[in-house]
Structure 1
Amino acid sequence: MKNEIEIVVFGTLNMDFVTYVDHLPGVGETIAASTFSLDPGGKAANQAVAASRLGCRVAMVGRIGDDHLGSKLKEQLERNQVNHDHVRYTPESDTGMAVISVDKDGQNTIVTFVGANAFLSKQDIDDVEPMLKQAKFAIMQMEMKQEVGEYLIQKAHQLGVELVLNLAPVVSIQPEVLQLVDLLIVNETEASQMTGIEVNAANFSEHAAQALFDKGIKHVIVTLGAKGAVLKTADSMVHYASPQVNAIDSTAAGDCFVAATTSFWCKDGSLVTAVQKAVEAASLSVTRRGAQSSLPTLDEYIEFNQSLGLVQN
């Protein structure tokens, strides 16, 4: 049907307390911030908003506290046309939060408070089964109880829904469950943790991608920040270079990449093409400040894509 949900995103919603600083503080160091902002965030919420802005019909499944911050997060989803019928208030806990510092080079440190996000349950997943069954894709991270995450992977597989796992943070998922994942997306650090391979250049990232693929996962992506991403499928190993941009804030760039990969894969049917577009969309996001405020619309992505010849070597 025309208005059916295409992508269901499961996971965290946070309110981000963001400071912009000249440099990230060392242990015991006190520094002054030049700017402060209060921004809607959370990895899953970022991914849901990004996918919606890129033109997909998206629903969010998660937990918020019955407080002012939770209400603001729901309002943000509403503004971005994300279905939030299954974002549930949790009176026994506060809304999740993140404290983020961003330096002048766009690098960041993040400390999170899980809050109501910890209450996402198997029952929440069962309750959205009819919606999930008709969707094309599900996106998840592992900022949830491991048994809930593994249950979601199994449920999506049973329903025939393509499951995109952004394995952040890294947890030791049962091998037989991990093999049910259709697309695994991890960054350099996460790939190193999973494989024991030091990922610090494209060739080493390819070794890590191969090692992850050999675990029985259908498709694997290792993201490399400013160096792009590597995709491993049964047929190919492809390294995608990032366009040169003036990066000012990398917050939510990884979430933008996950959402863009899924969105373009959903729309175009080609994962190989989707990853190239996702690298470009994530590159655009780092030229802006904030988490969800940095996420591009489809029109903004198209305009940026058309201008890439002016910024590439």
Structure 2
Amino acid sequence: MTDNQRPDPMRPDPMRQDTVPQRAVTVGSATVDIITVIADRDIERVTMTNVTASFLLLEEGRKIEAESITIHPGGGAVNTAVCLARLGYAVAPVVKLGTDLNAAKILETFDAEGLSGDLVRQSESLDTGITVMISSHDRNASIFTFRGANTLISREDVPEDAFHGAQLVHVSGLSNTSADQHGHIVGAARRAGAFVSANPGIRQLTSRREAFFAALADIDLISINRVEAEALMPGLAARLPDKAAPHIPHDAPDLMRRGLDGSGFDMSLEGFCAAVGSMGPSYVAVTDGTRGAYLWARDALFFCPPLQVAVAGTAGAGDAFAATLAAALVRDDGPERALAAAAANAASVVRHIDTQTGLLTRADLDGFVAEAGEALHVRRLL
């Protein structure tokens, strides 16, 4: 099979439902994730306090016993597609696979989750993407990535009509040739009338920063973490709106008090969000790991504290957060409820070692948020 379109796999019959589900398209990577869990006693961890980084040390030439080695589907486009499908959307992911056994593994997930294969492309020149995760200590895995066919999405792979009828288009991280299509993708999605959500990776933000800025006019929601936000700061300095520094409440959460600091630039969190928002997005979400998450919504800033759960693995939490937040905003839940739902689904994901087992259905997510109560209380900061 050459670079082409795969026939549509089995998916839910909308005629069996009371209403036809809204359509969503996700764009990005598809991978097979090999996850290795190693007991704390069998791998050394070194923490550098000055740079707030930790390292897992592997002894050269040594065979290390693993507690488990498991294989799972993953990748930004597939994770977010499964998330949206469980929330009730009819989802068609735009992904590029090889023609190998790993491609078949990913396509099994399409069948199991009822995802459309209309926009799946396959390539003979590179194999399907693979990640190998080594998880130990605090379960924040180190990840080895072979991007493979994920790097080869071309303009021809994403025709204008790919987004026809979609209420939501979510674009996750893209790399190499695929990243060059970002402007075309979000532009086509906007012309189709969809709500456009983007969760770019740091390589995309650093190597194609100006192209990303140019595409912001076509994006409704951008979701990034603190490190990714700081990577954008050099290009944002000249675009910072001329306004007085915000009043910071005495009990403000950590990132709002400290602000952002990247490449020699300092910026308040509110100023950063306003600068990004001035280029197009109505919503800017910034996550800060175990310190909580923020959502800027048309000059208002909201904060959701982290939900305390037993962590089995952190991979996939960002995908769950971004997709759930986008779905809730499309549903017009309002910033507070949307942010709480996104934080809850991300917390559910980290209770499991892989990126998809913890993704909740709409009913289960509503129940999880209700059960959390005040632990997920969203504050308006500004």
The alignment's TM-score, normalised by the length of structure 1, stands at 0.89
Per-residue CA deviations over 1:256-307 (Å, capped at 9, x if unaligned) read: 1011112222334534421221111111211122112232233332332232
Match of 2:167 among 136, 140, 148: 136
* 2:209 matches 1:172: yes
* 2:285 matches 1:201: no
Partner of 2:52: none
SS of residue matched to 2:130: strand
* 2:56 matches 1:25: yes
| Count of aligned pairs | 310
SS of residue matched to 1:292: coil
Match of 1:187 among 209, 225, 230: 225
SS of residue matched to 1:46: helix
Corresponding letter in the other structure for 1:201: L
Partner of 1:224: 288
Match of 2:107 among 74, 79, 82: 74
**1:213 Cα deviation after fit:** 2.6
Tell me how far apart the structure 2 counterparts of residues 87 and 265 of structure 1 sit (CA, whole Å). 27
Match of 2:304 among 229, 234, 240: 240
SS of residue matched to 1:179: helix
Conserved in 1, the CA contact under 8 Å of 2:220 and 2:280?
Answer: no
Conserved in 2, the CA contact under 8 Å of 1:55 and 1:263?
Answer: no
Change (3 A) 1:9 1:283: same
Corresponding letter in the other structure for 1:172: R
Please give the root-mean-square deviation of Cα atoms over the aligned residues, in Å. 2.5
Tell me how far apart the structure 1 counterparts of residues 194 and 375 of structure 2 sit (CA, whole Å). 38
Tell me how far apart the structure 1 counterparts of residues 303 and 373 of structure 2 sit (CA, whole Å). 19
Conserved in 1, the CA contact under 8 Å of 2:274 and 2:299?
Answer: no
Partner of 1:57: 90
Conserved in 2, the CA contact under 8 Å of 1:179 and 1:218?
Answer: no
List aligned pairs for 1:1-313, cutoff 5 A.
2-3=19-20, 5-21=22-38, 22=40, 25-26=56-57, 31-126=64-159, 129-144=160-175, 145-169=178-202, 170=205, 171-174=208-211, 175-195=213-233, 201-203=255-257, 204=259, 206-207=269-270, 208-309=272-373
Change (3 A) 1:279 1:78: same
Conserved in 2, the CA contact under 8 Å of 1:245 and 1:311?
Answer: no
Corresponding letter in the other structure for 1:146: A
SS of residue matched to 1:294: coil
Tell me how far apart the structure 2 counterparts of residues 272 and 51 of structure 1 sit (CA, whole Å). 19
**1:7 Cα deviation after fit:** 1.1
Corresponding letter in the other structure for 1:17: I
**1:216 Cα deviation after fit:** 4.1
**1:254 Cα deviation after fit:** 0.6
Conserved in 2, the CA contact under 8 Å of 1:5 and 1:131?
Answer: no
SS of residue matched to 1:222: strand
SS of residue matched to 2:169: strand
Tell me how far apart the structure 2 counterparts of residues 166 and 285 of structure 1 sit (CA, whole Å). 17
Corresponding letter in the other structure for 2:214: E
Tell me how far apart the structure 1 counterparts of residues 294 and 316 of structure 2 sit (CA, whole Å). 19
Change (3 A) 1:88 1:216: closer
SS of residue matched to 1:293: coil
The alignment's TM-score, normalised by the length of structure 2, stands at 0.74
Tell me how far apart the structure 1 counterparts of residues 93 and 77 of structure 2 sit (CA, whole Å). 8
User: Gaps (5+ residues) in structure 2?
Assistant: 1-13, 46-54, 237-252, 261-268, 378-382
Larger radius of gyration: 2
- Percent of aligned pairs with the same residue? 25
Corresponding letter in the other structure for 2:31: N
**1:38 Cα deviation after fit:** 0.7
Conserved in 1, the CA contact under 8 Å of 2:133 and 2:143?
Answer: yes
User: Gaps (5+ residues) in structure 1?
Assistant: none
Tell me how far apart the structure 2 counterparts of residues 218 and 305 of structure 1 sit (CA, whole Å). 25
